[in-house]
Amino acid sequence: MTILSDLQQLHHPLFSQHNVQVKIKRDDLIHPIISGNKWRKLKYNLVHAKKHRNINGVLSFGGSYSNHIHALAFACYQQNIPCIGVIRGEAIYANNFTLSWARHWGMKLIFVDRKTYKCRHDSQYITLLQQEYPAYFIVPEGGSNELAVPGVAEVITELNQQTEFDTLMTPVGSGGTLAGLIAGDKSNGNTDHKILGIAVLKGADYLVNDVKALLPVQAKKHNNWQILTNFHRGGYAKFSSDDVMRIMEFSQTTGVDFEPVYSGKMVLALLDLLEQGYFKAGEKIVLLHTGGMQGLGGMIERGILNAKDWATPKSCDNE
């Protein structure tokens, strides 16, 4: 099997101090646009959409700065598949960093209020959408469904060819990536790996059931995984100036760029867990970089981050 992303050794004073080895799986470098877990989760969803003659397009959901919407728009553009994005928010967001790219690549945007958006998992609402767009394949928010699982599971197959490890860490938003890693670990017959999810949103205990619902039968009893829910830094897309400084310092030390919504929270959790003595001496840890770097464009655009401190993504205005 072709290995899609490199594995890189990370060096940091805390790693030496606590006698751990840390490597990072650079899924952020899989593709310049459809990077990280979005590439993995969309892979078999788009194969499914193209294979079935009664499917003429793809419809999915996301916020106005969604990594998933951004990646889906380009992936569908690349494969000549019509796509629709149901977006939480108002039409004034259509020209923001993320959605201007989505429109540039041909995605049709439908803006809905928060009350309507909350129905995105409701079967009755999905049925109504399917009736309105009968030829469209509906993919859940974040791309997390049963078709996403085998794509992410390939991370484990690649890692087993690249290194030995004790713990694999990943940020968790909708649960699809974690489910894929668990399924991949089970299918490869591993029993000694620990898979550690870092929830990036507040009150995320429900994610345990969401992950279990996505697991194939043979992986449902695989119990070597855990979601830590106390490293969200205040909630989804929330972080302090101190959090930002620590992420920037880690990036400068290791030479790997992160963003503060997903991968950055995983990094902060790693540093905190090291200080708490969570990992045993000699432990081999792998971080999964799930991409999402396009999100920096929206945060810089809104003044949440300072452009001089971050690698500014290119906008479609200066393509």
Domains along the chain with CATH numbers: 7-35+146-309 (3.40.50.1100), 37-143 (3.40.50.1100)
Question: How far is the CA of 202 from the CAs of 140, 147, 205, 228, 236, in angstroms?
Answer: 20, 26, 9, 11, 7
pLDDT of residue 92: 95
Beta carbons of 172 and 230 less than 8 angstroms apart: no
Residue 45, C-beta contacts closer than 8 angstroms, at least 6 positions apart: 58, 137, 139, 143, 145, 147, 148
pLDDT of residue 192: 83
In this prediction the pTM is 0.95
Question: Comparing C-alpha atoms, which of 246, 186, 253 is closest to residue 22?
Answer: 253
Question: Comparing C-alpha atoms, which of 232, 275, 300 is closest to residue 18?
Answer: 275
pLDDT of residue 318: 57
Span 174-191, average pLDDT: 88
Q: Please state at what angle helix 176-187 crosses helix 148-162, rounded to 10 degrees.
A: 50
Beta carbons of 120 and 96 less than 8 angstroms apart: no
pLDDT digits (tens, 9 = 90+) for 34-80: 989 999 999 999 999 999 989 999 999 999 999 999 999 999 999 99
pLDDT digits (tens, 9 = 90+) for 282-319: 999 999 999 999 999 999 999 999 999 998 888 876 55
pLDDT digits (tens, 9 = 90+) for 200-258: 999 999 999 999 999 999 888 889 999 999 999 999 999 999 999 999 999 999 999 99
pLDDT of residue 312: 81
